[in-house]
Structure 1
């Protein structure tokens, strides 16, 4: 997919948008805390081909090929703000039917978007998302920060994010390791999710327990399915891509059937 920079309410955002299929929804990919469009690799293209759906991937402000953040400081509701920005992006591209696929922070943003803008979201795939803060999450972020300080991680991240790396890492780690973020919780929003949900989680995820999955699927108002994978960690779509591709293809096809029935 060819990429380009667009202006969304004053924010210069890099997107890759493949709009090949008429009257089909768009699968929107939302990357993780240190991710970007490029790090999804060929997974979006493969899912587009398998489902015959359009695909949009984008870099949030401060990530990948998008413009830098104005500050590393984040408020507790920064992911809620990202959901609002995603809605603005969908409006800018005139996308009225979206199926969201979010990983980690992207998964959380997908859940929030589905709850706040249910008229646009026809299905949500949440992979390793969080709805509250756990001790394991704080430890995972702390370990990642140590790796950033003591290994070649900065150099590897710079390949994808350029000179934005330091601010990006600071923005992520400072909020998640702060005392005031320990009370962050979006469970109250989940009842507003009325479209189908698939929650994917590796049992060996170092950033979250299965409580994230169980509490999420128990609180949404639409149909919800969990896909728990033994011996897999934080990034199932990279660790076992074929398994995740097959499962998400099945889910997306069911969503598109439901959309057709409603038309």
Structure 2
């Protein structure tokens, strides 16, 4: 019999606009909350049934939120700066921590959300018990840019932008352009997470599909090469860029095993 999950919506004020968030609470909760950070085109709704199933599988409270400019959150004020990944960790992580009242959490990021999760751990080490990256990029790779170019062409086809409008409303075009223009920018070509990863002091699980359209296994290998901390690398066969949808059972099992073994561990 499945344990009941309580779902609640949240509206959170920030200095730049209001964030929408949602939480999934098991009837019997244990461990630190899991904070989900979405990808470049994502939002709470696009996690679909994963947060509820993650809460049920792990027994942890699960929190997901729409970044400013995405989903049901307010629009982003102005153009997205190239430092948006570090900015998300610096500006919004403390707001979420205060709103939900957790001392520590497990940060779980998909794609660029994985980079943001790394930045959260680097900037707030005492507040992060463990780090989980899924299909995340540690640097700018040719395959990443090639995948984005292909996606840009797909979205240029008639009716394709409406797919994003279903989730982002009138923010959809800005969501698409922020993703494409940032990652294809010459000024972003040297971006990497080397400095942030050097500051990580908590256990790391890195999940990656073997057929990921936006990055090779070099990324999870980089995430799990951090010295002095427990790391687990999980490559998923027959899986592309969205393991939590394409191989959800395997993702839930890997996360549950990781949290049972390392969820509360930290190094000095």
TM-score, structure 2 as length reference: 0.91
Taking a change above 3 Å as real, the CA distance of residues 34 and 147 of structure 1, as seen in their structure-2 partners, is: same
CA shift at 1:151, angstroms? 4.2
Q: Structure 2 CA distance, aligned partners of 1:87 and 1:189? A: 17
Distance in 1, matches of 2:158 and 2:143, equals 22
Which of 44, 47, 70 is 1:63 aligned to?
70
Partner of residue 253 from structure 1, selected from 220, 245, 260: 260
Distance 1:4 1:92 in 2: 9
- What displacement does 1:11 show? 2.3
Aligned: 1:178 with 2:185? yes
> Is structure 2 residue 112 aligned with structure 1 residue 105?
yes
Aligned-pair distance for 1:95? 1.6
* CA distance in 1 between partners of 2:45 and 2:147 (Å): 23
Displacement after TM superposition at 1:235 (Å): 0.7
User: Residue 138 of structure 1 corresponds to which residue in structure 2?
Assistant: 145
Q: 1:148, CA displacement in angstroms? A: 1.1
- Give 3-state SS (helix, strand or coil) of 1:218's partner: coil
Structure 1 residues 257 and 173, CA, compared in 2 at 3 Å: closer, same or farther? closer
The within-5 A match list for 1:34-45 is 34-45=41-52
Q: List per-residue Cα deviations over 1:85-141 (Å, max 9, x = no partner).
A: 223321332221101111001111011111111101101110011111011111111
- After superposition, residues 154-193 of structure 1 pair within 5 angstroms as 154-193=161-200
* Rounded Cα–Cα distance in structure 1 between residues aligned with 2:145 and 2:43: 22
SS in structure 2 at match of 1:88: helix
Residues in 1 aligned to 2:251 and 2:115: alpha-carbon distance in whole angstroms:
18
- Cα distance change of structure 1 residues 151 and 229 upon mapping to structure 2, 3 Å threshold: farther
Q: Aligned match of 1:49 in 49, 56, 63?
A: 56
The gaps in structure 2 that reach 5 residues or longer are 1-6
Between Structure 1 and Structure 2, the one with more helix by share is: 1
Q: Does 1:18 align with 2:24?
A: yes
| Aligned-residue offset at 1:22 | 5.8
Distance 1:42 1:135 in 2: 32
Asked if residue 2 in structure 1 is aligned to residue 8 in structure 2, the reply is: yes
Aligned pair count reads 259
1:215 to 202, 217, 222: 222
Question: TM-score, length-normalised on structure 1?
Answer: 0.92
The answer to whether the 8 Å contact 1:114/1:193 transfers is: yes
Which residue number in structure 2 is paired with residue 81 of structure 1? 87
**What RMSD in Å do the two structures reach over aligned CA positions?**
1.8
1:194 touches 1:223 (CA, 8 Å); kept in 2?
Answer: no
3-state secondary structure, aligned to 2:34: strand
- Match of 2:10, SS state, is strand
